[in-house]
Amino acid sequence: MTLFDAFRFDGKRALVVGGATGMGAASAELLQSAGADVVVMDFADVALPGATAVHVDLADRASIDAAVGQLGGPIDALLSCAGVADGTPGIEKINFIGHRHLIDRLLAQDLLPRGSAIGFISSAAGLGWEANLPRIREYLATPDFDSAVAWVAANGGADYLSTKQAICAYVALQAMPMMKRGIRINATCPGPTDTPLAQANKETWLGFGADYRAEVGIEAATPAEQAFPLVFLCSAAAASINGITLVTDSGYFAAGVTEVFPPATDIANFLLGRMSG
């Protein structure tokens, strides 16, 4: 045994929700390579050899409950990766409410033991959550799946940006309560990444930050490049990291906020909720 084993997942079970494609699929493959017994939950078909596949519809509370019932044992690492783009019916459920309900069910059944970790994929679009925290607190105070759906129906938030802000705020608000149970929770906020979802929204998603990437001489991230930090956050090597939203955008927002790359400044400040009146 070596110190580097803290980065590995030997003898651990990992659940990747949304692990059939994109960053989720890359994370599932990486976890398997690191020694984990991998379970993949997804609406789409799962192609990873050796993984246990469980069908789930995150927009359907009963489907989530049934999927959790198929786990058959505790989970050491939960990676919440599923997400859809604006215009998708039920986006608020698929991107956030369904994930939260799944976590609640795992906690209620003691399927997340002490020492386990949760890692969400949020987005750079979620970085302005702090400026909207009072509103998001009200949303997150809803006690269950149905009340959260009703809150969104009454108050708005069935859009990509709102769902990603909800994830970031949820991670921050749950950091202490989760830690009391011995569970860590974190999220990554990826910049543009070449996934099937991004390709389906190529002009908007992969066009974002293209000028910055051209300036520094890089391409959009690959799914594997986003999987590396997400899996790390769920490993024992990240034992002191809790409640953070890690920006994985190759420095775009940092360059914008500091005006090192002025074309990104207004966009970064807007998304970070720092635009002056």
Q: What is the mean predicted confidence (pLDDT) over 151-162? A: 97
Q: How far apart are the first and last CA of the chain?
A: 56
List pLDDT tens digits, range 72-109: 999 999 999 999 999 999 999 999 999 999 999 999 99
Distances (CA, A) of 156 to 135, 198, 243: 11, 24, 26
Q: 189: how many CB neighbours lie within 10 A of its CB?
A: 24
- In the three-class reduction of DSSP (H, G, I as helix; E, B as strand; rest coil), residue 240 is classed as coil
pLDDT at residue 255 tops 90: yes
This prediction has a pTM of 0.96
Distance CA 213, CA 263 (A): 12
Helices 22-33/223-233 angle, 10° precision:
60
Q: Which amino acid is at 10?
A: D
Per-residue pLDDT band at 277 (split at 50, 70, 90): very low
**Which residues have CB under 8 Å from 238's CB, separation 6+?**
117, 184, 186, 232
Structural domains in the chain? 3-200+222-253 (3.40.50.720)
pLDDT at residue 199 tops 90: no
How does 123-151 read in b/e, with b if 16+ C-beta sit within 10 Å?
Answer: bbbbbbbeebbebbeebbebeebeebbeb
